């Protein structure tokens, strides 16, 4: 292999001891591969802490300043790792996103990479240096620092793989690959050797914190060779690749991020009130799904994180309405082709029926079954996992 990109996530580099493990790993790879580019995240909870600190100063900090602040987390890791590698006798250099030529659009906090000018990177690689790039950031045409969205260092890594035409991109974290379910919830969850980009995309969209979904899109578009591996073990790993047509269940996830909000009025709801509700939500950037009006009530689903804001906004305008909310469970079963016959859906529905679970919505695509229901317990997910995956 000629060129590889290695990405290390926040928990793999949380302290100096772990940083040392990472340095040794980078060195062992450098002994085998000519060009090594390393992308790092901020250490541990650094980004969360920086956000909290900013919020102590202002309830709504400017987005430009937030990008300026949050980008420092990754810069700290990059320079520390470079110091360590140089001390160990392996010439290294750290680069910020802009020094690495990562040009983005003008959207602060969720910027997209337009292009990467690789001159500087290539010059440093030619000198034999290990190049460490601060992930999650770039620069826009106004010369302002931008960030790519939470978890965006994965996207930096795959974008660099594409720009440098690197042979492989390893995404290192503290788990040894992609699992069939969250191992914290399902103890018998198994590691997958391979998964397709489409399946990985569905898992990421289902809310599982695995890979940044834009890195998967990029990987798919440019047919990249990506491997998710553990920083702390040479075993295992999951290869993310183009297409595996096996029609089997790869993963089951559950999240509880949606709530149904119901607004009940003592008398009939008028059309203009419905408009006011909808527009109030829109003006405040709140996405309301499955919005519907019945005689004296309005119901919609929204992100659980927004529920207090929604209540506050609507209670102010409609003090005579009663508002209630209910947390929903979203079960996502992923596997290319699993909806082609009814067997898997049938088995799932039978288990949900056995536990008297009230289903709200079922959504099928080629690669997933998504079921929205009232409160699905972990035991139920376990039973479904057992039936469809462990067998």
Binding site for ligand ASP (CB under 6 A): 10, 41-42, 47, 73, 135-136, 150-153
CB of residue 292 vs ligand ASP: minimum separation in angstroms?
35
Nearer to ligand ASP, 231 or 382 (CB): 231
3-class DSSP state for residue 203? Answer: helix
Residue closest to Mg ion when measured from CB atoms: 151
How would you classify the pairing of strands 137-139 and 92-95?
unpaired
Residue closest to ligand ASP when measured from CB atoms: 153
Q: Phi first, then psi: what are they for 343, rounded to 5°?
A: -55, -50
Q: Which residues sit opposite 368 in a β-bridge? A: 334
CB of residue 42 vs ligand ASP: minimum separation in angstroms?
4
Q: What angle do CA 375, 376, 380 make, to 5 degrees?
A: 155
CB of residue 320 vs Mg ion: minimum separation in angstroms?
46
CB of residue 216 vs Mg ion: minimum separation in angstroms?
13
Evaluated on CA atoms 258, 263, 269, 273, the torsion sign reads negative
Interface with Mg ion by CB under 5 A: which residues?
A: 9, 151
Q: Which residues sit opposite 7 in a β-bridge? A: 39, 171
Nearer to ligand ASP, 213 or 260 (CB): 213
Task: Report how far residue 389's alpha carbon sits from residue 384's, in angstroms, rounded to the nearest whole number.
Answer: 8
Nearer to ligand ASP, 11 or 280 (CB): 11
CB of residue 257 vs ligand ASP: minimum separation in angstroms?
17
Nearer to ligand ASP, 90 or 136 (CB): 136
CB of residue 203 vs Mg ion: minimum separation in angstroms?
14
CA distances from 15 to 20, 216, 228, 297 (A): 9, 28, 21, 53
Q: Answer with the entry of ligand ASP, Mg ion, none that 75 interacts with (C-beta below 5 to 8 A by kind).
A: none
Nearer to ligand ASP, 214 or 368 (CB): 214
Q: Answer with the entry of Mg ion, ligand ASP, none that 136 interacts with (C-beta below 5 to 8 A by kind).
A: ligand ASP
Task: Report how far residue 37's alpha carbon sits from residue 3's, in angstroms, rounded to the nearest whole number.
Answer: 8
Nearer to Mg ion, 8 or 300 (CB): 8
CB of residue 40 vs ligand ASP: minimum separation in angstroms?
9
Identify whether the C-beta of residue 119 lies closer than 8 Å to the C-beta of residue 84: no
Task: Report how far residue 206's alpha carbon sits from residue 198's, in angstroms, rounded to the nearest whole number.
Answer: 12
Q: Answer with the entry of ligand ASP, Mg ion, none that 138 interacts with (C-beta below 5 to 8 A by kind).
A: none
Crossing angle for the helix pair 63-87 and 46-57, nearest 10 degrees?
A: 150
Q: What angle do CA 79, 66, 82 make, to 5 degrees?
A: 5
Q: Answer with the entry of ligand ASP, Mg ion, none that 135 interacts with (C-beta below 5 to 8 A by kind).
A: ligand ASP
Q: Phi first, then psi: what are they for 266, rounded to 5°?
A: -60, -30
Q: Answer with the entry of ligand ASP, Mg ion, none that 42 interacts with (C-beta below 5 to 8 A by kind).
A: ligand ASP
Nearer to ligand ASP, 47 or 348 (CB): 47
Enter the tokens of residue 149.
Answer: 């969205």
């Amino acid at each position: 292999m000629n060129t590889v990109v290695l990405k290390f996530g926040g928990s793999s580099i949380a302290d100096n001891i772990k940083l040392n493990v990472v340095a040794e790993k980078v060195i062992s790879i450098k002994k085998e591969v000519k060009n090594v580019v390393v992308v790092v995240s901020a250490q541990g909870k650094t980004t969360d802490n920086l956000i909290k600190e900013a919020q102590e100063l202002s309830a709504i900090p400017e987005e430009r300043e937030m990008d300026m602040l949050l980008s420092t987390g990754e810069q700290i890791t990059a320079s520390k790792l470079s110091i360590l590698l140089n001390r160990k006798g392996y010439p290294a250099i750290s680069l910020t996103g802009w020094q690495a030529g990562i040009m983005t659009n003008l959207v602060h906090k969720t910027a997209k990479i337009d292009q990467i000018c690789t001159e500087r990177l290539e010059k440093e690689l030619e000198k034999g240096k290990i190049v460490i790039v601060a992930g999650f950031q770039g620069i826009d045409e106004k010369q302002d620092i931008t960030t790519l969205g939470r978890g965006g260092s994965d996207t930096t890594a795959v974008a660099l793989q594409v720009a440098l035409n690197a042979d492989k991109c390893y995404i290192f974290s503290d788990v040894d690959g992609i699992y069939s379910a969250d191992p914290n919830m399902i103890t018998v969850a198994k590691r997958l050797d391979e998964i397709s980009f489409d399946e990985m995309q569905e898992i990421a969209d289902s809310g599982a914190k695995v890979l940044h979904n834009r890195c998967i899109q990029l990987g798919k578009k440019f047919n990249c060779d990506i491997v998710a591996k553990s920083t702390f073990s040479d075993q295992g790993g999951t290869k993310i690749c183009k297409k595996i047509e096996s029609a089997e269940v790869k993963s089951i996830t559950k999240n509880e991020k949606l709530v149904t909000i119901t607004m009940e009025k003592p008398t009939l709801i008028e059309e203009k009130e419905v408009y006011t509700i909808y527009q109030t939500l829109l003006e405040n950037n709140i996405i309301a799904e499955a919005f519907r009006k019945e005689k004296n009530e309005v119901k919609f689903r929204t992100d659980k994180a927004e529920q207090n804001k929604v209540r506050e906004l609507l209670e102010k305008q409609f003090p005579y309405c009663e508002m209630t909310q209910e947390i929903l469970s979203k079960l996502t079963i992923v596997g290319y082709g699993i909806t082609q016959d009814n067997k898997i859906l049938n088995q799932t529905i039978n288990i949900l029926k056995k536990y008297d679970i009230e289903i709200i919505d079922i959504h099928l695509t080629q690669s997933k079954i998504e079921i929205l229901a009232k409160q699905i317990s972990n035991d139920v997910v376990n039973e479904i996992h057992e039936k469809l995956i462990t067998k």
